[in-house]
């Protein structure tokens, strides 16, 4: 389990005053990825149209370039705007296998203060049942604080 208090403080310090969402995504992906050995792929998929996600800043091996809202764990998160905590990706109907080694996944919606969906934050692990509700809650609070000042036209 990461030191979430330390992670939160580092992310807050690094992101202070920044409003560019891509810069923020790159910084968050890097800090979170290196905070815990369970995190094998850590990154963002950005909303690029009404029902389509495109890969954003990430750490780890290659990810899928495009994910429709109608497919996969990331799509389910974007479509429902709810956290997807998947202990076994093989049991998730419609899972998209961007990496064959992935066994579990945690995906969180990323919204600004106006409630606009900016994208999703995706964490993949090669370990089954790697993520907890605490991970989801603590990472969600970090995302909320970082992206609160981002606005879209």
Whole-Å CA distances, 2 to 31, 59, 132: 11, 17, 12
- pTM for this predicted structure: 0.94
The helix (H) or strand (E) run that includes residue 50 is none
**3: Cβ contacts below 8 Å, ≥ 6 apart:** 35
Closest CA to 87 of 70, 72, 106: 106
The helix (H) or strand (E) run that includes residue 8 is helix 4-15
How does pLDDT run along the chain (153 residues), one tens digit per residue? 889 999 999 999 999 999 999 999 999 999 999 999 999 999 999 999 999 999 999 999 988 999 999 999 999 999 999 999 999 888 877 767 776 778 899 999 999 989 999 999 999 999 999 999 999 999 999 999 999 988 875
Whats the size of the chain, residue-wise?
153
Q: What is the distance between the alpha carbons of residues 48 and 55, in angstroms, rounded to a whole number?
A: 10
Phi, psi of 7 (to 5 degrees): -60, -45
Task: Tell me the domains of the chain and their CATH numbers.
Answer: 4-147 (3.30.450.40)
Q: Which two tokens stand for residue 60?
A: 């780890």
**122: Cβ contacts below 8 Å, ≥ 6 apart:** 41, 42, 43, 44, 45, 58, 63, 73, 74, 105, 106, 107
Q: What is the pLDDT of residues 83-114, one digit of tens each?
A: 999 998 888 777 677 767 788 999 999 999 89
């Amino acid at each position: 389990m990461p030191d979430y208090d330390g992670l939160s403080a580092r992310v807050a310090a690094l992101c202070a005053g920044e409003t560019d969402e891509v810069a923020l995504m790159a910084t968050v992906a890097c800090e979170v990825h290196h905070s815990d050995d369970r995190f094998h792929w850590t990154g963002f998929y950005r909303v690029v149209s009404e029902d389509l996600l495109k890969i954003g800043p990430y750490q780890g091996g290659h990810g899928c370039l495009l994910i429709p809202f109608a497919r996969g764990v990331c799509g389910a998160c974007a479509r429902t705007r709810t956290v997807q905590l998947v202990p076994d990706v093989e049991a998730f109907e419609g899972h998209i296998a961007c990496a064959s080694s992935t066994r579990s996944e945690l995906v969180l919606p990323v919204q600004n203060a106006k409630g606009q969906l900016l994208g999703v934050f995706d964490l993949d692990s090669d370990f089954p049942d790697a993520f907890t509700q605490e991970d989801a809650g603590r990472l969600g609070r970090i995302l909320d604080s970082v992206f609160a000042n981002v606005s879209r036209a």
